[in-house]
Amino acid sequence: MPYRAPLADIRFILDEVVPLATVAATERFAEAVPDLAEAVLTEAAKLCDTVMAPVQRAGDLTPAKLENGVVRASPGFGEAFKAIAEGGWVAVSAPVEHGGMGLPQTLNMAINDMMSGACLALQLNPLLTQGQIEALDHHATDDLKALYMPKLISGDWAGTMNLTESQAGSDVGALRTKAEPNGDGTYAISGQKIFISWGDSDVTGNICHLVLARLPGAAAGTKGISLFLVPKFIPDADGNPGVRNGVNVVSLEHKLGLHGSPTCVMEYDKAKGWLVGEEHKGMAAMFTMMNNARLGVAMQGIGVAEAACQAAVDYAAERKQMGAIIDHADVRRMLVTMKAEVFAARCIALACATATDMTTATGEDDWRARAAFLTPIAKAYGTDTGIAVSEMAMQVYGGMGYVEETGVAQFYRDVRVTAIYEGTNGIQAMDLVGRKMADGGEAAYRILEEIEAGAEAARGTLPQLAGDVWSAAETLRETTEWLVGQGAQDRFAGAVAYLRAFARVLGAHYHLRAAMAEGGDGPRTALARVYIRRLLPLYAAHLAEAREGAEGVFALTPEALVS
């Protein structure tokens, strides 16, 4: 199952569907000209195909392990990470003043897409570090930035984020980890965190943890949480890893998948830490990292979906059962569905990345609102697509899909967690219909206007497809108007269905753009027809569910549910 980075699709999307040229036209990202973007993406693809993809199975078959308090990475991971670091791939969007390239997140996310398809377990490491770099850049003191950011950007050190505790999962405000002032500007951090991806390893010289903790006298809930930078080794006067801090790995989680990514239970025993941002405002600082990670997780789902789709197509072309199974109608249905879903999810995620870049470049509120609105859709749809496509790939393999030696089940096992972490997809949906609609739905309406305008422009070339997209957008507008007028509980009960409907219509919009870009006749038009005629109609069922409100889901009491 050789993985091939999807360069052609990414190039096409950034040229024709979600143009990178819009970002490159700004002063902030003027260097992101086509030649540079092409060179960066091509080199990243080579790394993915030749360095990362070959260690994918090793990570699954020979998991990371804890030995004498140190996590040992899977075979080949150390060498592969060294290639990532030396190639500057951690630094793509990092600030130039600290050694980064300063390129758009759109390019960075396209690279994360390819890396995730090649080896998700390893890609998690640089993704987390990139998020920490962004959090420090926005919230840390100049001294902390000067010491830590060059090391993180170079890949010499790695970064993690520590939110979850056994009693504090999605309810982060229930955390118990404490921070006591040391009297010298540092703090003693004590507590236990769980589910810490790459919480320890031997592939970098130091590991820097961003840890949420509560100061003495702090308010209950999220308003009393502060954020601290806690290194495994405290840097010495020369900025090199010095004495060991009070940070230890208690154990590694035994997981369904992602075996090559060590997920640690971390113990902090009066570990020395430095405040990041203001006291009691740790969630605001941590959300900088989490928002970066949510888009990155969308790319993880899409990358794995791409790899699973490739594996399924290759197998179907080779497997003989009454002829090649790729010629069977139901197998072909699955394959075209997989490909259409991946394309739609990739477009939505890259559109979100573009909006993020335009926010950085212009500071305009409309771009900021667009990026915020698209983030939960990109995360939920991207990861749902990863799960659905990976499951469908197993189905294409038939009985062999259930046999571990074929390797196809790894895609499903690895990607399943992406719908859970960085905010479950249900929480993403609640965020969409809650905070992201606090503007009365204005951000949603602007996107719907864009979709309808695109459909109108396509009527002369592709009248049926254009009409379907326009009608879907108009129906979605009506439900949006209804949703804005509802109370929180009714919104939340239909939130997942509403998000899925919005993703369906957005996906159709981008498929229609792709079809128009090739003149309404060709393989991308054929794929658009698959999506718009076969998959888009699902939006109507989702909207019907969204408008049912909360009454039905609460009709059964907890006692009735367990009977």
Residue 408, SS3 per DSSP: helix
Half-sphere exposure of 142 (CA within 13 A, CB side): 1
422 catalytic? Reply is yes
Measured distance CA(478)–CA(448) in Å, rounded: 11
- The amino acid present at 300, given as its one-letter code, is Q
Residue 527 is encoded by which pair of tokens?
A: 């794929």
Measured distance CA(411)–CA(387) in Å, rounded: 8
Helix (H) or strand (E) holding 160: strand 157-162
Q: Out of 165, 306, 341, 422, which one is annotated catalytic?
A: 422
Q: Provide the strand spans (E) within 254-328.
A: 263-276
What are the backbone dihedrals phi and psi of residue 362, each rounded to the nearest 5 degrees, phi first? -115, -25
Could you tell me which residues are beta bridge partners of residue 157? 206
| β-strand pairing of 157-162 with 206-214 | parallel
Measured distance CA(84)–CA(101) in Å, rounded: 14
Residue 401, SS3 per DSSP: helix
Please check whether residue 301 is in contact with residue 384, taking contact to mean a CB–CB distance below 8 angstroms. Answer: yes
Residue 510 is encoded by which pair of tokens?
A: 């981008």
Measured distance CA(21)–CA(37) in Å, rounded: 10
Residues recognised as catalytic: 422
